[in-house]
Amino acid sequence: MRDVAARAGVSAMTVSRVLKDERVGPATRDRVLAAVRELGYRRNEVARNLRLGRPSGMIGLVVTNLANPFYSRLALGAEQVVEKHGLRLVLGNTAEQVQRERELVEDLVSRRVDGMIVIPAGATHRHLSPASLGGTPVVLASRPPSGIEADTVLVDDFGGARAATEQLLAEGHRSVGFLGNPPTLFTGAERFRGYWAAHEEAGIAPRDELVRRGPHDIPTAEAAALELLDREDPPTALFCTNNRITLGAYRAVRRLGTGTTLAGFDDFEMADMLDVPVTVVSYDADEVGRRAAQLLLDRLGEGPDTPAGPARRTVVPTSVVRYGVRESVGEDRGVHGRD
């Protein structure tokens, strides 16, 4: 600022007043702004806020897999809300690594973010407690807290999986295979529980030999589906726990030419263009981000409520959409999903 002041022939205080858009004569303002442009000056907002004892104006968002479209939609939903309050979103990816998550969270706290939205990678979350973060508020998304109390936004994983499996059973399928995430992952466990519950409610015993709880991407899902479909008694339908697993299963179906019916959690673009019947569990991924951001703003005193009480939990509903036939179940269609 002193350099700008010297170049413009004014005091540093005058430069400060111009940058804060306070009343300054037009000629003086023009000289200061010209000096700012010529010198490439940018005010250090972080340092300024530290000096003034103000928050950073930044919200941290920590996700587990940026390759999954679910997280880009979640980020857009969160950004839509926080920007209305003059805040900026800072994004970090953990690749499902707990140590990486700890490092990202510590870094964001050191940068004095106002708060964080975290999709946790590990089974315990004590490192996200207020005591560990120096009071920085945290909202969890997609997966519930373990070992701590925290505001949380979830998707109806159980209900969506049960509804999709019920649809397959209602169509007459009595041999429905399961391709899903490892059981240690909350979403994978809940969706498997929904798959199993639908069978029990229909009075049908699921076949353990048709269950694969390990695929996590398109190649591993394709390999698992090939193994199931190449059996002497293959399943007539497959339920998949996310969109990438569904696409892997579709590759196997196309490769073997079986025409096996598919059902999967998460809608995805071009699902209606596949040449086999597909049932998808759809929901609004943007809404997950919007709700998480609003819960966080409430804790920061920026929302309509500033709760000091217990942690809150909200669940985003799902609907079931059927492609490849005329009728569909549910009303809304999203195009993104998650693990």
- The pLDDT value recorded for residue 130 is 82
Please tell me the number of Cα atoms within 13 Å of 259 on its side-chain side.
1
Q: Does an H or E element contain 90, and which?
A: strand 88-93
What residue ranges of the chain are covered by domains with CATH 1.10.260.40? Answer: 2-43
- Cα dihedral 224, 229, 231, 237 in deg (nearest 10): 110
CATH annotation of 56-155+285-308: 3.40.50.2300
Residue type, 60: G
Work out the number of other CB atoms within 10 angstroms of the CB of residue 44. Answer: 9
DSSP state of 273: G
Output the pTM of the full model. Answer: 0.78
What residue ranges of the chain are covered by domains with CATH 3.40.50.2300? Answer: 56-155+285-308, 157-282+319-323
Say if strands 237-240 and 176-179 run parallel, antiparallel, or are unpaired: parallel
Question: Which pLDDT tens digit goes with each residue over 50-88?
Answer: 554 446 789 999 999 888 888 999 999 999 999 999 899
CATH annotation of 2-43: 1.10.260.40
DSSP line for 217-236 = SHHHHHHHHHHHHTSSS--S
Q: What is the mean pLDDT of residues 91-98?
A: 93
CATH number for domain 157-282+319-323, candidates 3.30.2450.30, 3.30.43.10, 3.40.50.2300, 3.50.50.60: 3.40.50.2300
How far apart are alpha carbons 14 and 28 in whole angstroms?
Answer: 9
Percentage above 90 pLDDT, the chain: 64
DSSP state of 94: -
Say if strands 278-282 and 261-265 run parallel, antiparallel, or are unpaired: parallel
Question: Which pLDDT tens digit goes with each residue over 294-314?
Answer: 999 999 885 555 456 789 999
